[in-house]
Structure 1
């Protein structure tokens, strides 16, 4: 890995061709050789910087955000996520799984715990830690954020570690609501991946229930 970064020294988005994680860079080069027209880079956050809600995913999917350059765009997880955001007023327009579909987020932003696509959707601990300064900086550039929704345990842990919270005090569980200080609430959901929905671990109704709870939070 390259030398240490601090959140104060960087902006909230990683360089598109970030070179800090050798394994992820090598995987990017493989994807660039196979699919040179794809985005193939560190995917930036998407949404409203004045948002109250921040949604944190795991990492870009190879055939989804790594292809399109927008979080959760172009794979099944995005189909479920964006349909739910539209249903609960956190998005407007039409989601058509491409970056020029005109979709806008409302009072909401989507980012990832790790900005570059990892092989088999599994970032290594050192890669999660290396990307943390960008995540910390992203949090620092959201002055009105009150609610964080973590999609999966890695996103949950990245939030808590970044905010210097003890993970044992805030265990991950689908539908959990954690008061994490500084007038902030952390909600948890199983990741809206095709695997989780195909196996029944997460149903659309379960996912919507989390957003029902989020909508009940006072402004």
Structure 2
């Protein structure tokens, strides 16, 4: 796959996990009463955002009546309302809400994805489903690598799923693997550049210029998931979310 457009098309046609296929298609047939006039997407939901993104946001999986309905990550549900409002407040999205795939929403330098691309029953993918879906995230990371500079992972499940993907995509993940906490920050180096980095440290220190290895590093941030359980209880406030996104955007060189 040479482009994100090709990857997105391949993801949308995936049928690797029978339980998820059955569930997403059943939801698309039965629908929710409020969306009875909708034609549900009912397929795996690819990532959303520009190919040259500098900041990636990694969630958990599409919601049954959100992304599984609209075909776009984090649209059509209250979690998406919280996320896109925060991105809009920071100048990273063209509008504060998104309910339909044709509503004109644009993201500026940001892409949104998930380690599991199908809506799972009870919002709980199995470890096997998570691992089966991982190659899609690995390929997405590889395609974004020329521009990607920071990542915000929403929730512990996404964190546990994403760390192996970063390693497979060419970054060095510290050992022991860093634990998930809200606001945590981990710097990942490029595995292929680790030796070059140590060899060029002296030069970088004398010139003040970043080495190629440093430029290919990745700033990884943890954030509580924008689930209703977290936002309704105040575990994650709008300001807490904006602060993590603001810090990650700055690390990515976004305005």
Q: Distance in 2 between matches of 1:105 and 1:31?
A: 28
For each residue in 1:8-33, what CA deviation from the matched residue of structure 2 results, as whole angstroms up to 9, or x when unmatched?
9x953344242111110111231233
| Rounded Cα–Cα distance in structure 1 between residues aligned with 2:99 and 2:237 | 21
For residue 141 of structure 1, give the secondary structure of its aligned residue in structure 2.
helix
Q: Could you report, residue by residue, the CA deviation over 1:145-200 in whole angstroms, capped at 9, with x for unpaired residues?
A: 01011011121122211123357331111011110112101011000011111122
Distance 1:169 1:28, change over 3 A: closer
Structure 1 partner of 2:239: 205
Question: Are positions 1:196 and 2:191 aligned together?
Answer: no
Aligned to 1:3: none
Residue 160 of structure 1 aligns with which residue? 163
- How well do the aligned residues superpose, as a CA RMSD in angstroms? 2.0
The alpha-carbon deviation at position 215 of structure 1 amounts to 3.5
The structure where strand makes up a greater share of residues is 1
Give the unaligned 5+ runs of structure 2.
32-37, 168-172, 191-216
Distance of aligned partners of 1:218 and 1:197 in 2 relative to their CA distance in 1, 3 Å threshold: closer
Structure 1 residue runs of 5 or longer lacking an equivalent are: 1-6
1:44-55 aligned within 5 A = 44-55=46-57
Alignment TM-score, normalising by the size of structure 2: 0.78
- Aligned pair count? 212
Whose radius of gyration is greater, 1 or 2?
2
Residue 183 of structure 2 is matched in structure 1 by 175
Q: Distance in 2 between matches of 1:105 and 1:159?
A: 22
